[in-house]
Amino acid sequence: MKVGIIGSGFTGLSAAYFLSKAGADVIVFESGDTPGGMAGGFLNKSWNWSLENHYHHLFTNDISVLGLAKEVGHKIIIGSPKTSTYFDDGIYQFDSPLTLLKFEKLSLLDRLRTGAAMAFLKVNPFWKPLEKVASEKFIRSLMGEKSWKFIWEPLFVKKFGKYSGDVNAAWFWARIYKRTMKLAYPEGGFLSLARKIEKEIIENRGKFFYNTRVAFLKKKGGKIAIVTDGKTQTFDKVICTIPTDKFIEITNGLPKNYSNKYMELKSLGAINLVISLNKRYLPGNNYWLNVNELDYPFVSIVEHTNFMSASHYNNEHLLYIGNYLPHNHKYFSYDADSLLKEFTPYLKKINNKFSAKMIKKVWVFKDKYAQPIVFKNHSKNIPDFNTPIEGLFLCNIQQVYPWDRGTNYAVENGKKVAELVLKS
Ligand SMILES: Cc1cc2nc3c(=O)[nH]c(=O)nc-3n(C[C@H](O)[C@H](O)[C@H](O)COP(=O)(O)OP(=O)(O)OC[C@H]3O[C@@H](n4cnc5c(N)ncnc54)[C@H](O)[C@@H]3O)c2cc1C
C-alpha cells in the first residue's frame, strides 16, 4: 500500500513510523526544511543540542510520545524545574500543593478552597459534563472569586484574548488532571527526537520530501492525487496533518456542508522571542514564569537552561518570551529586534539587572495554528479522521481533545490514524 503523508510534525512522523513499520510504502511531504513541525527547532553554531522554536517539555505521563522515544531508542531526561507566577510585587512559586498553601495573595480560606478544587480535578476522570460549562464560570464557583481574579483570570485573558470567557471547563480540567510535578525532555532536543524517528522511517524504506508544499489534493480514479509544485503523485491512501481550514482549501471535492462546518474551527497563533544571554535572567532558578500582570505584553517567560544545562548550548542562557495572539495581531509583522525593544521595559521590571550587555543574539518564531480554541460542547465540532473522500484521512492538532494539544497526542493520534489506514 502506498501512503502519502502531508506534514512532518509529530502527527505525520508518528503515522509514517507506524505505517512504514507495518510494511506500507510511505512518502512524507513537508513544506519546511526539517522534521518536527511546531515542536521542531534549530541548532545554532557552537551548540551541541538543538533548541525548539517554541518552548517545549513533556509530562512524565505522556505515554505515547515517551513510548515512541523508547521504541526508537531516544533517551529522555526527567527533572523537577521550578514554576512560578509574576505579580508586580514579586515572584511567587506556584507548582505544588505546598507552594499554593504559602501563596499570600489569597486568604487561607481561598487557598484551601483552591487546593481542594485542584485536588478534586486531579482525581476526577469525568470530563464530559465539564465541556458544557465555561472555565470562567466553573472556576469562579469552585475556587471562589479571589482565586479567579488573582490566579486564573490573567492567564485565561492573556492566553485566549477575546475567547477567554468561552473556553470550556474540560480544557481546564485536562490541564490540571494531566500535569505532573516532574517534567521530561528528549536528550538533544525535540528536533533530535524527530530526526531519530525520521531515520527509523527511512530505514523502513519511507521517503521524505522537504521544502515541498502540497498545493492540491484530489480523487483520481480509485486513488488520491497529491499535487506539489506542478508534480502529481498518486497514492492508495493519504493522511493530511495540516490545520483543517488549510486542508479544506487545498482539497478538491469536499461537500459544502463539511467545508462550511469545519472551516469555522478557531485557533490562536503563538509568537516566541528567543534570547541568548551570557547570564541567567530569571531569579531563583525558575524555569517557567507565568506573567499575571495584564498590561505586560507577554504571557510567559521560560528559561530553558534552568531546566536543561546551559553547557549543551555553549554556556548560553536561553530565554523564551511567549505570547498567544490572534492571526492579525501587529506582533506577527514585528522582527526580533522590534519585539525585543517592545518587551525590554517589562523585562527590566521583572529583573532590574536585565540589560542589552547580557544579550548575545535574538530570534523570533511565529506559528498561526498554535492553540485551538475549545468552546462549549466542543466534542460535537471535531472532524473525524475519515473524511468524505474515501482514502483521504485528516489527523491534526484540532482533533486533540479533551487534552490540550501536545506532541504526546500528536503521536497518539498519528498511531490511531495509521491503524485506521491499515484496516481500511
Ligand atoms: C508555543 C507552543 C508551546 C508548546 N509547548 C508544548 C510542550 O511543552 N509540549 C508538547 O508536547 N507540545 C507543545 N506544543 C504543542 C506541539 O508543538 C504540537 O501539539 C505538535 O507539534 C503538533 O504536531 P502536528 O504534527 O499535529 O502539527 P505541526 O507540528 O503543525 O505539523 C504540521 C506540519 O505540516 C507542515 N505543512 C503545513 N502545510 C503544508 C503543506 N501545504 N504541504 C506540506 N507540509 C505542510 C508544517 O510545516 C508542519 O511541519 C506547543 C506548541 C506551541 C505553539
User: Which atom of ligand 1 lies nearest, measured to the CA of 400?
Assistant: 19
User: Is any atom of ligand 1 closer than 6 Å to the C-beta of 110?
Assistant: no
Q: Whose CA is nearest to atom 4 of ligand 1?
A: 56
138 CA to centre of ligand 1 in angstroms: 30
**Position 319, amino acid:** L
What is the rounded average pLDDT of the residues 373-402? 96
Whole-number pLDDT of residue 230: 80
Retrieve residue 25's grid coordinates.
510504502
Q: Rounded to whole angstroms, how far apart are CA atoms 422 and 368?
A: 32
- Beta-carbon contacts of 328 under 8 Å, excluding residues fewer than 6 positions away, are none
Retrieve residue 91's grid coordinates.
515572584
**Terminal Cα-to-Cα distance of the chain (whole angstroms):** 11
Sheet holding 90-93, edge to edge: 90-93, 82-87, 286-291, 300-303, 317-325, 267-277, 359-372
370 CA to centre of ligand 1 in angstroms: 7
**Position 276, amino acid:** S
Classify domain 267-372 by CATH number.
Answer: 3.90.660.20
Whole-number pLDDT of residue 104: 87
Whole-number pLDDT of residue 88: 83
Query: What residues does 359 pair with on adjacent strands?
Result: 277
Q: Whose CA is nearest to atom 53 of ligand 1?
A: 370
Q: Would you place residue 97 in the very low, low, confident or very high pLDDT band (cuts 50, 70, 90)?
A: confident
List the chain domain ranges. 2-50+188-263+382-423, 96-178, 267-372
- Total-model pTM: 0.96
**Position 159, amino acid:** K
What is the rounded average pLDDT of the residues 330-357? 97
User: Is any atom of ligand 1 closer than 6 Å to the C-beta of 31?
Assistant: yes
**β-strand pairing of 223-228 with 231-235:** antiparallel
User: Is any atom of ligand 1 closer than 6 Å to the C-beta of 228?
Assistant: no
User: Is any atom of ligand 1 closer than 6 Å to the C-beta of 158?
Assistant: no
The per-residue pLDDT for range 114-154, each reduced to its tens digit, is: 999 999 999 999 999 999 999 999 999 999 999 999 999 99
Whole-number pLDDT of residue 264: 87
User: Is any atom of ligand 1 closer than 6 Å to the C-beta of 411?
Assistant: no
Q: Rounded to whole angstroms, how far apart are CA atoms 363 and 389?
A: 41
410 CA to centre of ligand 1 in angstroms: 8
User: Between 3.50.50.60, 3.40.50.2300, 1.20.1560.10, 2.40.420.20, what CATH number should domain 2-50+188-263+382-423 receive?
Assistant: 3.50.50.60
Q: Whose CA is nearest to atom 36 of ligand 1?
A: 7
User: Is any atom of ligand 1 closer than 6 Å to the C-beta of 29?
Assistant: yes
User: Between 1.10.357, 3.40.50, 1.10.3110, 3.30.70, what CATH number should domain 96-178 receive?
Assistant: 1.10.3110
Residue 262 has pLDDT above 90, yes or no: yes
| Residue 354 contacts residue 282 (beta carbons within 8 Å) | no
